[in-house]
């Protein structure tokens, strides 16, 4: 320990520029590879829809024999669906209109603009949020709604309305 | 372009100091002896960040309450694209971080880098090691499967044996009596809210101390020119991080990430074992019985922690070359042998898993809900190769026969039997050959086809062979005349769901061979099944859910 301490040199002569360039390249490439290997699966994990099971299930929404043509009726029904990892049973509603030829249309209960619940006023569907107005065949007659009301798939069995999936109208 | 970028960086730096701060951080002088042996701290930091990130990603699809926790982990594993990989990274990353943190510590210990003035760096490191173990302990409960539940029961009971403090530990963990929603909430909050910020603060402090005292030099370093941290050492760290990540990623893809049956507090057959890195403690515990138990649960671990913390104060000698640190190396070797021996003994004393508990609940398990006649029907369906001409699942390419998924909507039970016996009679012009099955076997195929829907169609592919063979045996011997499985069958004998909770495999086999011997009043006749029939039957019965579905 009696040796004198020479001032340590700052530059290391063994460390050549080409070596330095190689090290920088490896740092960048390996860093990018790790980043990609984490980012790509995460993107897939967050952005792809989870696996879907099962097809259309028909839900009984009640007797439609007594509905008067041209008068919308709000029918409610219970739907069981898989909410992520959980089977939930929810109350849902549909605005049901019987046409003069006795065919039945069931509209989804939300305005196609921003999803508010609409109601019936003077023989048309009126949304209270931004005053979109729809005629009884679902077409937009006023307001900002971008497309006609969504419709449920329907079929009639023994005068009872069966409700299927909700479909967007073009 | 380059000038513009430089100008922009200068402007940003002028206002924030970020660029020059980073330069200052990277341009640290490090001793000439620095090199590959000092990569482990960086790897540990990287793995911590991976855990932090993947944990947050899991949190996006995770419900932190018992029951829902299990369903949501299953959801991540089976329904979410990439979910299995993200959980794999988190699961195996937890083990890997333990390995790396311990190696990091051993390196510092062997090189004597904890010596004055670096005592505080070492002590903070010891606390970080304890935090890492705390993550393992608290995270273990979160999937809420049998492994998680029973492992935590044991852990919290150990906590309760601490003299004086025991009752308070139980109170804080809400674990007195039973593990339930409260314990779960506390473990979850510790795992995701308490530990991460604490870890971050301590890592920051740890790195700050490393910078304050500089990287520990080796004797003679003061005579040699200093090196720069960037890029020479950063290169080595990056290569190490890359190798560690490549191993972790491979494990996450290739190795099974366990998810067992949902936590069942009534499961008396379950044999809990801690995570591999706690096995040595588990084995140590066996050596102490009765009033001495506290030595294994509390005294020895506490002494070990205190010894670790005091290490820099016990060993106050001057820094010497690694090769001369024989005592330190000797201690590490002895500790390694001790750890390896205890872990090995613990592994050796672990009974092999039963088939029922080795079933991967992260995979499809819908077949467990099928009745025995449906499962047997699937067996015949496979044996007769019905799938060569018929599709089961919707949307697959057409085969010569019709898709069977909605058979029950189009035809009734009698039609099906007629069709199987004589296809042309039920469907004029059918080119199908009559099924080569007995009437009883056809009834099982009929039962299976009548219950087939798009929702349960995957069972045809996913039901394991042992269960199908067990179900065939069950049907052939008309077990259903007296017993019920999944709500289908007779009521003379006990329902077989839940039997696995009450009996073990040996008892069940004995009961088949000689019922009166183990159950003197039973009216059940003996069944001397040959192998592998007996094993298939027993395994099948042990995979039945504790309660029939919907009950």
Cα separation, B314 vs B113, in Å, equals 14
> In this structure, are B306 and B394 located in the same domain?
no
The DSSP letter of residue B145 is B
| CA distances (Å), origin A133, targets A115, A130, B422 | 13, 9, 61
> A20–B50: do the CB atoms touch at under 8 Å?
no
Residues B56-69 have pLDDT tens digits of 999 999 999 998 99
Q: Are residues B60 and A46, on separate chains, in Cβ contact within 8 Å?
A: yes
Residues B366, B369, B370: CA angle, nearest 5 degrees:
100
Q: Identify the H or E element spanning A83.
A: strand A73-83
Q: Is A36 on the interface with B (CB under 8 A)?
A: no
In this structure, are B115 and B211 located in the same domain? Answer: yes
Cα B181 to its chain centre, rounded Å, is 21
Mutate to test the interface with A, among B71, B235, B455 (most CBs of A within 10 A): B235
C-alpha dihedral, B337 to B338 to B344 to B348, nearest 10°: 140
Do B51 and B180 share a domain, yes or no? yes
Where a domain ends, among B298, B315, B350?
B350
* CA quadruple B473, B478, B483, B489: dihedral, nearest 10: 110
Asked whether residue B534 is assigned to any structural domain, the reply reads: yes
Backbone φ and ψ for A105, nearest 5 degrees, come out as -120, 135
Q: Which of B218, B197, B274 is nearest to B33 (CA)?
A: B218
How do the domains of chain A map onto residue ranges?
14-48, 59-167
User: Based on the domain organization, do B189 and B302 belong to the same domain?
Assistant: yes
Q: Report the C-alpha gap between B105 and B121 in whole angstroms.
A: 11
Q: What CATH number corresponds to the domain at position B84?
A: 1.20.810.10
Cβ distance of B235 and A23 shorter than 8 Å: yes
Tell me how far apart the alpha carbons of residues B505 and B532 are, in angstroms, rounded to a whole number.
Answer: 14
B338 and B487 in a single domain? The answer is no
We report the CATH number of the domain holding residue B529 as: 1.10.760.10
Spell out which residues of chain B touch residue A54, defining contact as CB-CB under 8 Å: 453-455
- The per-residue pLDDT for range B450-485, each reduced to its tens digit, is 888 877 888 888 888 888 999 999 999 999 999 999
For residues B375 and B468, the answer to whether their CB atoms sit within 8 Å is yes
Q: Note the pLDDT of residue A1.
A: 36
Chain A closest-CA separation from residue B57 CA (Å):
8
What is the C-alpha separation between B467 and B378, in angstroms, rounded? Answer: 10
Give A60's strand partners. A162
Residue from A21, A30, A83 whose CB has the most chain B CBs within 10 Å, to mutate: A30
How many inter-chain contacts (A to B, CB under 8 Å) are there? Answer: 98
Distance CA B215, CA B217 (A): 6
B482 located within any domain: yes
Cis omega (within 30 of 0) on the bond before B532? yes
H-run or E-run covering B56: helix B40-59
Domain count, chain B: 2
For residue A31, give the nearest of B80, B238, B394 by CB distance: B238
The answer to whether residues B319 and B193 belong to one domain is: yes
Q: pLDDT tens digits, chain B, 551 residues: what are they?
A: 678 999 999 999 999 999 999 999 999 999 999 999 999 999 999 999 999 999 999 999 999 999 899 989 989 998 899 999 999 999 999 999 999 999 999 999 999 999 999 999 999 999 999 999 999 999 999 999 989 999 999 999 999 888 899 999 999 999 988 899 999 999 999 999 999 999 999 999 999 999 999 999 988 888 888 899 999 999 999 999 999 999 999 999 999 898 888 887 877 778 888 899 999 999 999 899 888 988 988 999 999 999 999 999 999 988 888 888 999 999 999 999 999 999 999 999 888 776 666 677 777 778 888 899 999 999 999 988 888 888 887 666 677 788 887 777 788 888 888 888 888 888 887 888 888 888 889 999 998 988 888 778 888 888 888 889 999 999 999 999 999 998 888 888 888 987 877 777 788 888 999 999 988 989 999 999 988 899 889 888 888 876 776 55
Residues B120 and B248 occupy one common structural domain: yes
Domain membership of residue B293 (yes or no) is: yes
Please indicate, yes or no, whether residues B314 and B244 belong to a single structural domain of this protein: yes
Q: d(Cα B328, Cα B319) in Å, to the nearest integer?
A: 12
Measure Cα distances from B26 to A20, B21, B439, B490 in Å.
14, 9, 80, 76
Determine the distance in angstroms separating the CA of A142 from the nearest CA of chain B, rounded to an integer: 40
Report which of B184, B108, B98 is spatially closest to residue B134, judged by C-alpha positions.
B98
Residues of chain A with Cβ-Cβ distance to B75 below 8 Å are 50, 84-85
- Which CB contacts under 8 angstroms, 24+ apart, belong to A151-154? A151/A105, A151/A106, A151/A107, A151/A108, A152/A94, A152/A106, A152/A107, A152/A108, A153/A56, A154/A104, A154/A105, A154/A106
User: CA dist B50 to A45, B56, B249, B520, Å?
Assistant: 16, 10, 11, 59
| Same-domain pairing of B344 and B415 | no
The hierarchical CATH code for the domain A59-167 is 2.102.10.10
**Looking at beta carbons, which pairs linking B450-453 to residues 24 or more positions away fall under 8 Å?**
B450/B407, B450/B408, B450/B413, B450/B416, B451/B370, B451/B371, B451/B374, B451/B408, B452/B392, B452/B404, B452/B405, B452/B407, B452/B408, B453/A54, B453/B405, B453/B406, B453/B408
In a domain, B340, yes or no: yes
CA nearest neighbour of B366 among B282, B309, B451, B297: B451
pLDDT digits (tens, 9 = 90+) for B108-163: 999 999 999 999 999 999 999 999 999 999 999 999 998 999 999 999 999 988 88
- B203/B321 same-domain check: yes
H or E element in which residue B122 lies:
helix B119-139
Distances in Å between the alpha carbon of B188 and those of B142, B185, B331? 7, 5, 37
Please report, in tens digits, the pLDDT of each residue of chain A (170 residues total): 334 444 444 455 678 899 999 999 999 999 999 999 999 999 999 999 887 665 667 899 988 888 889 899 999 999 877 788 887 889 999 999 999 888 899 999 999 999 999 999 999 999 999 999 999 999 999 999 999 999 999 999 888 999 998 999 87
Task: Please provide the DSSP assignment of B156-173 as one string.
Answer: HHHHHTSTTTHHHHHHHH
Can you read off the two tokens belonging to residue B209? 């101390």
Residue of B30, B386, B409 whose CA lies nearest to B236: B30
What is the C-alpha separation between A145 and B92, in angstroms, rounded? 50
Q: Residue B44 and residue B104: Cα distance in Å, rounded?
A: 8
* CB < 8 Å from B in window 5-34 of A: 5-6, 8-13, 15, 20, 23-24, 26-27, 30-31, 33-34
Min Cα–Cα distance to chain B from A107, Å: 27
Q: Return d(Cα B14, Cα A161) in angstroms, integer.
A: 71
The answer to whether residue A139 neighbours chain B at the CB level (below 8 Å) is: no
Q: Which two tokens stand for residue B409?
A: 């909507």
Alpha helices in B217-325 (DSSP H): 234-254, 279-286, 293-294, 300-314
Boundary of a domain, candidates B350, B377, B399: B350
Q: Please enumerate residues of B whose Cβ is less than 8 A from a Cβ of A.
A: 29, 32, 50, 53, 57, 60-61, 63, 68, 71-72, 74-75, 78-83, 85-86, 222-228, 231-232, 234-235, 238-239, 241-242, 245, 249, 394, 453-455
Assess contact for A132 and A142: CB atoms under 8 A: yes
CA distance B225 to chain A (A): 4
In a domain, B330, yes or no: yes
Q: Which of B81, B232, B239 sits opposite A45 (nearest CB)?
A: B81
What's the pLDDT at A54?
57
- B18-26 vs B2-16: helix crossing angle, rounded to 10: 90
Is B549 inside a domain boundary? no
Instruction: Tell whether B243 and B199 lie within a shared domain.
Output: yes
DSSP state of B429: T
User: In terms of domains, do B387 and B323 share one?
Assistant: no
For the record, the structure tokens of B152 come out as 């935590």
CA-CA-CA-CA torsion sign (B368, B370, B371, B376) = negative
Indicate the helix (H) or strand (E) that contains B380: helix B372-383
Query: Which residue range is the domain that position B246 belongs to?
Result: 35-262+286-350
């Amino acid at each position: 320990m009696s040796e004198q301490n020479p001032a340590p040199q700052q530059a290391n002569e063994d460390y050549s520029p080409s070596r330095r360039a190689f090290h920088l390249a490896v740092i960048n490439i390996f860093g990018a590879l790790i980043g990609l290997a984490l980012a790509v699966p995460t993107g897939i994990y967050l952005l792809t829809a989870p696996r879907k099971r099962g097809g259309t299930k028909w839900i009984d929404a009640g007797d439609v024999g007594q509905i008067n043509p041209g008068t919308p009726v709000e029918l409610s029904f219970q739907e069981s669906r898989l909410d992520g990892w959980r089977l939930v049973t929810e109350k849902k509603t549909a605005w049901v209109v019987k046409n003069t030829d006795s065919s039945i249309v069931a509209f989804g209960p939300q305005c196609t603009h921003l999803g508010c619940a609409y109601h019936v006023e003077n023989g048309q569907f009126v949304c209270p949020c931004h005053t979109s107005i729809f005629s009884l065949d679902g077409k937009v007659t006023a307001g900002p709604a971008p497309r006609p009301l969504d419709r449920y798939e329907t079929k009639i069995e023994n005068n009872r309305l069966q409700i299927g999936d909700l479909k967007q109208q073009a | 372009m380059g000038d513009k970028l430089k100008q922009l960086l200068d402007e940003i730096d002028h206002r924030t100091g970020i660029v020059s701060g980073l330069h200052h951080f990277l341009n640290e002088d490090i001793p000439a002896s620095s090199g590959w042996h000092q990569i482990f701290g960086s790897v540990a930091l990287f793995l911590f960040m991976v855990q932090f990130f993947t944990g947050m990603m899991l949190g996006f699809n995770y419900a932190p309450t018992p029951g829902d926790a299990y369903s949501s982990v299953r959801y991540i594993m089976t329904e979410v694209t990439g979910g299995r990989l993200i959980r794999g990274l988190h699961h195996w990353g937890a083990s890997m971080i333990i390995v790396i943190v311990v190696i990091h510590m051993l390196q510092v210990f062997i090189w004597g880098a904890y010596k004055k003035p670096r005592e505080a760096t070492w002590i903070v490191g010891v606390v970080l090691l304890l935090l890492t173990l705390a993550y393992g302990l608290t995270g273990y409960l979160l999937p809420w499967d049998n492994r998680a539940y029973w492992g935590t029961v044991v852990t919290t009971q150990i906590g309760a044996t601490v003299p004086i403090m025991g009752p308070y530990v139980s109170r804080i963990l809400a674990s007195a009596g039973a593990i339930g929603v409260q314990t779960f909430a506390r473990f979850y909050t510790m795992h995701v809210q308490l530990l991460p910020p604490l870890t971050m603060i301590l890592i920051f402090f740890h790195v700050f101390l490393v910078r304050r005292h500089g990287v520990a030099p080796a004797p003679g370093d003061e005579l040699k020119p200093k090196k720069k941290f960037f890029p020479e050492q950063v290169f080595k760290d990056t290569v190490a991080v890359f190798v560690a990540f490549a191993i972790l990623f491979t494990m996450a893809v290739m190795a099974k990430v366990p998810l067992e049956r949902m936590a069942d507090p009534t499961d008396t057959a379950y044999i809990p074992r801690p995570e591999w890195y706690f096995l040595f403690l588990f084995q140590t515990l066996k050596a102490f019985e009765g009033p001495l138990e506290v030595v294994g649960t509390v005294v020895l671990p506490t002494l070990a922690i205190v010894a670790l913390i005091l290490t820099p104060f016990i060993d106050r000698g001057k820094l010497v070359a690694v090769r001369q640190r024989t005592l330190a190396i000797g201690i590490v070797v002895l500790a390694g042998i001790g750890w390896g021996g205890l872990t090995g003994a613990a592994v050796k004393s672990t009974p092999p898993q039963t088939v029922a508990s080795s079933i991967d609940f992260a995979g499809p398990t819908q077949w467990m809900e099928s009745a025995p006649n449906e499962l047997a029907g699937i067996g015949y369906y496979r044996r007769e190769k019905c799938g060569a001409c018929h599709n089961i699942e919707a949307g697959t390419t057409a085969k010569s026969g019709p898709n069977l998924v909605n058979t029950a909507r189009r035809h009734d039970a009698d039609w099906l039997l007629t069709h199987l016996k004589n296809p042309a009679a039920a469907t004029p012009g059918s080119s199908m050959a009559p099924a080569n099955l007995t009437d009883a076997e056809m009834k099982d195929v009929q039962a299976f086809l009548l219950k087939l829907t798009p929702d349960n169609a995957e069972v045809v592919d996913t039901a394991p062979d042992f269960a199908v063979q067990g179900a065939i045996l069950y049907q052939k011997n008309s077990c259903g005349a007296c017993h019920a499985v999944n709500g289908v069958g007779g009521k003379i004998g006990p329902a077989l769901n839940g039997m696995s909770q009450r009996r073990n495999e040996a008892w069940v086999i004995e009961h088949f061979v000689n019922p009166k011997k183990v159950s003197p009043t039973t009216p059940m006749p003996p069944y001397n099944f040959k192998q592998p029939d007996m094993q298939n039957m027993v395994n099948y019965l042990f995979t039945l859910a504790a309660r029939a579905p919907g009950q």
